[in-house]
Amino acid sequence: MTRRSGLWTALLLATALAAGAGQEDLQGLFDGTGTKIDLKALLAQTKNSVPKIDHVIGFEDRYWVEVTASGKNERTRLADTGMSIDGVNGGVVSGTADSEILGIIQKAGFTVVRATRLSSFSPDDFPPADGTYHNYEEVQSALQTAQGAAPEYATLFSMGKSVEGRDLTGIRFYKDDGKEKPGILFVGTHHAREHLSTEVPLLLSQWLAENRDREDVRELLETRDIYIVPLVNPDGMEFDIATGRYRWHRKNMTRNSNGSVGVDLNRNYAWGWGGRGSSANPGSDTYHGPSAFSEPETQAVRDFIESHPNIKIMLSYHTFSELVLYPWGGSDEPIADGRALGAFKVMAEKMGGMTGYRPMQSSELYVATGDTCDWAWGAKGIFCFTFELTPRSQWQGGFYPGAGAIQGTFAKNIDPALYLIDLADDPYRAGSGRVASAPKPTTTQTGDNPI
């Protein structure tokens, strides 16, 4: 995407609001032309009308928000308001919120430095401008292409169905010699607008198929059970691109009881569900849903993991911020098992070195409960990582960094994927130094077949 800064109409908060300010004090937002935004009226509107789908998930009442918050405790307090936190830059935290959440943020005493209507961002197509990204149908055929390229290893499977009935299609690399093999699961796109997080696992499947004759790759393909599901939230993803103009949609497409749309799938897992950093407000971008595992997409991940107990490592791709995160995310505590923590840290640091991404415990970013990796580790003992892919910030493209970001981001992420595949037999090896050095890709371009 080419960001045209001229189109950015920032709503600037004129004055910092004192902590505990009453609703009548919620004012002071101006748009780029100097017009005052009547937040009270916006809030009243939200209250008095039964929210319609278009209103709640449309552009007009949603903002890219930048708020002053330093340290993980303040960031966590901010996450508690129902704002999604998508970027941290020094003492300024950014993410999305509607006017209701904006009011809550201000009421909680935070200073909103900037709130930009999402509708004012440059519209982009997906296709044609970002046509290299894969929509749902293209993901299906790309997976078929990858499978067809390596039929001796690859099979397709469906992990389950989305709310709207789309398949959560995956590809498995496994040499069927009747032997049980250590398993690893890669998943992408819990969050609809994080399109690069579909591309990386999808391209990984194609790369493995194309490079299956390399000795190091062959060794992994013959001794591991590799599952890749690039698109866990196909409905939300399709919704995000449906108009040819990105909608900044994060959640799935569940119709909530109050008429709003979507549950945050990365707050819907049954580990600390409903606690800090998740919202009970269905309109919030971090709505945790009516109960843990209320959503068919998270149920599918759960059921798949439960029926594949050989899976020892998991990687959930998200964007953006360039981070390698490990549990806990819902608590400030480090995980209790010192040996496991040691292995987690070594793995995170090693993969940080490979990618240039920053390794850290998830809650160092902010505490948020109900995420995939807390459940995978807490309930199943799976060494689970969350990658926040490229770019580093909203100002470098945020969720929509353009087609030009795909190959470079993928290239950085081959080595960590191979490293984890290798470790799937015994993740604790990470701490002992007995790890095959990750193979170096000969090429980062995938083949001629555009997948």
Residue placing its CB nearer to Zn ion in the complex, 134 or 191? 191
Residue placing its CB nearer to ligand 0X9 in the complex, 183 or 330? 330
Q: At what angle do helices 234-241 and 136-149 cross, to 10 degrees?
A: 120
Instruction: Report in angstroms how near the CB of residue 320 gets to Zn ion at its nearest.
Output: 9
**What are 325's strand-pairing partners?**
360, 386
Distance (Å) of CA 7 to CA 3, 37, 97, 118, 123: 8, 18, 20, 11, 10
Instruction: Report in angstroms how near the CB of residue 139 gets to Zn ion at its nearest.
Output: 18
Instruction: Report in angstroms how near the CB of residue 183 gets to ligand 0X9 at its nearest.
Output: 23
Instruction: Report in angstroms how near the CB of residue 77 gets to ligand 0X9 at its nearest.
Output: 14
Instruction: Report in angstroms how near the CB of residue 189 gets to Zn ion at its nearest.
Output: 8
Q: List Cβ<8 Å contacts ≥24 apart for 240-245.
A: 240/192, 240/193, 240/195, 241/126, 241/135, 241/195, 244/123, 244/125, 244/126, 245/123, 245/124, 245/125
> Which residue in the set 77, 172, 224, 318 belongs to the binding site for Zn ion (CB under 5 A)?
318
Rg (CA), the chain: 21
Among ligand 0X9, Zn ion, none, what does residue 100 contact (CB within 5–8 Å per kind)? none
Instruction: Tell me the site size for Zn ion, rule CB under 5 A.
Output: 3
Q: Tell me the C-alpha distance between 199 and 183, whole Å.
A: 21
Residue placing its CB nearer to ligand 0X9 in the complex, 167 or 388? 388
Closest CA to 282 of 51, 108, 26: 51
Among Zn ion, ligand 0X9, none, what does residue 154 contact (CB within 5–8 Å per kind)? none
**Amino acid in the structure at residue 346:** V
Residue placing its CB nearer to ligand 0X9 in the complex, 312 or 318? 318
Asked whether position 191 contacts Zn ion by CB under 5 A, the answer is yes
Among ligand 0X9, Zn ion, none, what does residue 206 contact (CB within 5–8 Å per kind)? none
Burial of 48 from C-beta contacts in 10 A (0-12 / 13-18 / 19+):
exposed
Pattern 276-315, Zn ion, x by CB under 5 A: ----------------------------------------
Give yes or no: 349 in active site: no
Distance (Å) of CA 387 to CA 144, 311, 434: 25, 18, 24
Site of interaction with ligand 0X9 (CB under 6 A)? 84, 86, 191, 194, 266, 318, 325, 329-330, 362-363, 365-366, 368, 371, 386, 388
Residue 328 near residue 335, CB atoms below 8 Å: yes
Residue closest to ligand 0X9 (Cβ):
329
Other C-beta atoms closer than 10 Å to the C-beta of 102 total 29
Residue placing its CB nearer to Zn ion in the complex, 318 or 392? 318
Give the binding site for Zn ion (CB under 5 A). Answer: 191, 194, 318
Q: Which residues are catalytic?
A: 388
